Amino acid sequence: MTDRLYYEDAYLWTFEGKVIAEKEDRGTWVCLDRSAFYPTSGGQPFDTGRLEWTDAGGRACSAEVSDVEADREGQVWHRVDRAVPEGTVVRGTIDGPRRRDHMEQHGGEHMLAGAIWEKLGGTTIGLHLGKEDSSIDVSMPDGRTHLTAEEIEMLEETVNERIRMDAPIRCWFPTEEELRNLPLRKPPTVTGHIRIVTMGDFEMVACGGTHPSSTGRIGQIKVISAIPSKGKVRVTFVCGGRAEKLFRKYMVCANKAGNVLSAPLEKLAGSAGELKARLADAERRLNRFETERILVEIRGNEDQESLPGVTLSVTLTGETDAKPLAEAVSRYIAEDGRALLLCAGERLTFARSGDVDIDMNELIKRVGRGGGRPDLASGAGIPQCAEVAKKILTTEGKGKSWRISNRGIAQKAKRLNLYID
Ligand SMILES: [Zn+2]
């Protein structure tokens, strides 16, 4: 079993150990008789770093450690980028800032879980320590899946106050008898050789992880969110240096937004809301103008000669917003005897009044991509599509009456079980 040096000193960045085994499994791994490298467990990720040694020829060698795992027998394995012969004595150096960051998040998690248990009766199920933030899943006594803003504030204040108290953090292996009498926050999930961590008098639980030496070294905590997740509350948070970085990021964002809106921080939301309302109003007015403009263009292209009894407009226009376009088309075909073959950018709209006998759905399918109803179809195509559609109507429908007579409308209505006066 590897002697885990971080149990005794979580700030031990360098150490000496001997390679006692080697294996190949998705890379080269070496097992050391003693190591300060933390293997992934309990939600806390592994340490990285390097191993250095002098080979038989007296040359200085080193290997990067990119992953650390513990096996069932308690051996700690280090994935290295080059083989290290068995029996070699190595000097290990772990990435201190990475480990310190993990200890800040992990330590903060203990404090947060302890406060949730003490103040709200919530049981913390697991820790996920991510690259950006960390989260715990909390089972609430009443089964609810959210926390109120007041509860989040209370938890943050409680934990930060306890961090500022700089209470000592202690880890040890109690005897079985001592363990039985300890008021643990929750029962241990493993058996035998249980390690206990206490933080001041507000946290006591079984844990094999690495912890700061006092609560002050956690720095601070900031809860980011508390959202429902599979019947529990998922509380996401950052601690220490990450909390500082997050605050700086928020400040930069808020200051930039403040400069853009010419508003102080506390008036940002109000200013943004006002701007949004003004923009919506301006958009409404712009859409009205755009609708009118498109209608003028459609009417400017009207031709009464091509289709007997029907006013046809073949309109080719630039790209425009869908809303005013749809409004202009619907207003145009509300008038009697109208047919419209419209191409706006790459958008085709074929439409006709209720009293015109053209199946626009079929027509659009013949010249481009798209479809819809017999009176209104849309799709994609090029301006020539509209021209081709006109040609089809004028050649194939020679001598045809394009208008449905009043009698025709009545017959159609009858077929559809409609009654009109
Ligand atoms: Zn722990």
Q: Where are the alpha helices (DSSP H) in 368-415?
A: 383-396, 406-415
- Please tell me the predicted confidence (pLDDT) of residue 190: 77
Mean pLDDT of 171-177: 92
Residue 173 and residue 195 in contact, taking contact as beta carbons nearer than 8 Å: yes
- Please tell me the predicted confidence (pLDDT) of residue 383: 86
The larger pLDDT score, comparing residue 327 to residue 368, is at 327
pLDDT level of residue 415 (50, 70, 90 thresholds)? low
Best CATH choice for the domain 100-248 from the list 3.30.360.10, 3.30.465.10, 3.20.20.10, 3.30.980.10: 3.30.980.10
**0.85 exceeded by pTM:** no
In the predicted structure, residue 418 carries a pLDDT above the cut 60: no
Q: How far is CA 303 from CA 132, 298, 309, 313, 390, in A?
A: 64, 10, 11, 6, 11
Residue 412 CA to ligand 1 centre (angstroms): 78
- The residues, any chain, with a CB within 8 Å of residue 91's CB and separated by 6 or more, are 14, 15, 16, 51, 52, 53
Residue 245 CA to ligand 1 centre (angstroms): 23
Residue 45 CA to ligand 1 centre (angstroms): 12
Tokens matching residue 361 = 């759905």
**What 3-state DSSP class applies to 38?**
coil
Tokens matching residue 292 = 């009118």
Q: Summarize the chain as % helix, strand, coil (round to 5).
A: 35, 30, 35
Residue 106 CA to ligand 1 centre (angstroms): 6
In the predicted structure, residue 254 carries a pLDDT above the cut 80: yes
When the pLDDT of each residue in the chain is averaged and rounded to a whole number, the result is 93
- Please tell me the predicted confidence (pLDDT) of residue 148: 96
Mean pLDDT of 7-16: 96
In the predicted structure, residue 421 carries a pLDDT above the cut 50: no
In the predicted structure, residue 210 carries a pLDDT above the cut 70: yes
CATH class of residue range 3-94: mainly beta
Residue 392 and residue 302 in contact, taking contact as beta carbons nearer than 8 Å: no
Residue 99 CA to ligand 1 centre (angstroms): 13
- Please tell me the predicted confidence (pLDDT) of residue 411: 63
287's enclosing H/E stretch is: helix 268-300
Burial of 152 (0-12, 13-18, 19+ CB in 10 A): middle
Cα torsion 293, 295, 300, 305 to 10°: value is 170
The larger pLDDT score, comparing residue 125 to residue 244, is at 244
Q: How far apart are the first and last CA of the chain?
A: 95
- Please tell me the predicted confidence (pLDDT) of residue 412: 62
pLDDT level of residue 414 (50, 70, 90 thresholds)? low
In the predicted structure, residue 180 carries a pLDDT above the cut 70: yes
What does the pLDDT look like over 316-325, one tens digit per residue?
Answer: 999 999 999 9
The domain limits of the chain are: 3-94, 100-248, 285-415
In the predicted structure, residue 365 carries a pLDDT above the cut 60: yes
pLDDT level of residue 396 (50, 70, 90 thresholds)? confident
CA distance 261 to 325: 32
- Please tell me the predicted confidence (pLDDT) of residue 186: 87
Tokens matching residue 408 = 């025709």
For 222, phi then psi, to 5°, come to -135, 120
Tell me the residue ranges of DSSP E strands in 95-176.
123-129, 134-139, 169-172
Mean pLDDT of 179-195: 87
Ordered DSSP codes for 297-339:
HHHHTEESSSSTT-EEEEEEE----HHHHHHHHHHHTTSTTEE
Q: How many Cβ atoms sit within 10 Å of the Cβ of residue 181?
A: 7
Residue 418 CA to ligand 1 centre (angstroms): 75
CATH class of residue range 285-415: alpha beta
Q: How far is CA 168 from CA 27, 45, 101, 198, 215, in A?
A: 40, 24, 18, 8, 6
Q: How far is CA 4 from CA 74, 100, 135, 344, in A?
A: 9, 17, 26, 71
Residue 300 CA to ligand 1 centre (angstroms): 77
What percent of the chain is modeled with pLDDT above 90?
84
Residue 390 CA to ligand 1 centre (angstroms): 77
Residue 204 CA to ligand 1 centre (angstroms): 10
In the predicted structure, residue 89 carries a pLDDT above the cut 70: yes
CA distance 251 to 249: 5
Residue 148 CA to ligand 1 centre (angstroms): 27
pLDDT level of residue 398 (50, 70, 90 thresholds)? confident
Mean pLDDT of 68-88: 95
Residue 384 CA to ligand 1 centre (angstroms): 71
Under DSSP, the state recorded for 217 is G
Residue 159 CA to ligand 1 centre (angstroms): 16
Asked if the domains at 100-248 and 285-415 fall in one CATH topology, the answer is no
Residue 8 CA to ligand 1 centre (angstroms): 14
The larger pLDDT score, comparing residue 23 to residue 188, is at 23
Under DSSP, the state recorded for 57 is T
Listed residue (1, 23, 3, 25) closest to 12, CA to CA = 3
CA distance 337 to 312: 9
Residue 194 CA to ligand 1 centre (angstroms): 12
In the predicted structure, residue 420 carries a pLDDT above the cut 70: no
What does the pLDDT look like over 366-384, one tens digit per residue?
Answer: 998 899 999 999 999 888 8
CA distance 363 to 365: 5
What does the pLDDT look like over 93-144, one tens digit per residue?
Answer: 999 999 999 999 999 999 999 999 999 999 998 889 999 999 999 999 999 9
Residue 208 CA to ligand 1 centre (angstroms): 6
**What 3-state DSSP class applies to 354?**
coil
CA distance 356 to 405: 9
Mean pLDDT of 19-36: 96
Residue 210 CA to ligand 1 centre (angstroms): 6
Q: Indicate the range of 58-62, 79-83, 192-196, 207-211 predicted with least confidence.
A: 192-196
Residue 218 CA to ligand 1 centre (angstroms): 12
Residue 205 CA to ligand 1 centre (angstroms): 8
Residue 209 CA to ligand 1 centre (angstroms): 5
Residue 227 CA to ligand 1 centre (angstroms): 24
